[in-house]
Amino acid sequence: MSSSEWRLDPRLAADTLALGRWPLCHVLLMDDTHYPWLVLVPEVVGVTEIIDLAAAQRAQLAVETDAAAKALREVFSPDKLNVAALGNVVSQLHVHVVARFKADAAWPAPVWGAVPVEKRPHAQSLALRAQLREALSHVLPMEPVL
C-alpha cells in the first residue's frame, strides 16, 4: 500500500488539531485545555505497533518523539514528560507526548480519563498552535499541514 492510502483515524482527527508533518509523522495537538499534549502519528498504512515499523522508521520515530518532547520542554518547562504508545482505544499507531505538572488535573496519575476533556477556545488554539509550530520547527523542520 502507498502512503496515499494512509488515513488518520477519525477518533484522532476529532480530538486533535493538526500542527504539521515531519518526515515520518503527522504532529497533532490534543485539544484539551488541561494538558500540553502532542500526538505523533506515523504515516504508514496498517501499522498498530512500533515493532511493525521498519528499522529506519523506528529510528525516525525516536528522533521525532525526542523532538516533540524537547519542544514541549522548551515551551512549557514541565515537571515531567510522559511518552506512551498505548493504542487500546485507537489501534492506529500513535505516540502521546504529554507535558505534566505537579499541579495538573491528573498528577501523578495518567492523564487518560482523569477529568473530562475541555476543548480550547478558538483564539487560544490559534495562539498555542502558532507557538508550538515555531518550537517544533526549531528542533526538527516541519511541513505545514492545511
Indicate which CATH number applies to the domain containing 52.
Answer: 3.30.428.10
Do the domain assignments include residue 146? Answer: no
- Alpha carbon distance 69, 139 (integer Å): 10
Q: How many domains, the chain? A: 1
Amino acid at 48: T
One digit per residue, pLDDT tens: the chain, 146 residues? 445 699 999 999 999 999 999 999 999 999 999 999 999 999 999 999 999 999 999 999 999 999 999 999 999 999 999 999 999 999 999 999 999 999 999 999 999 989 999 999 999 999 999 999 999 999 999 998 76
Do the domain assignments include residue 132? Answer: yes
Do the domain assignments include residue 40? Answer: yes
The domain in which residue 116 lies consists of 3-139
Instruction: Please state the pTM of the whole predicted model.
Output: 0.94
Do the domain assignments include residue 145? Answer: no
Amino acid at 14: A
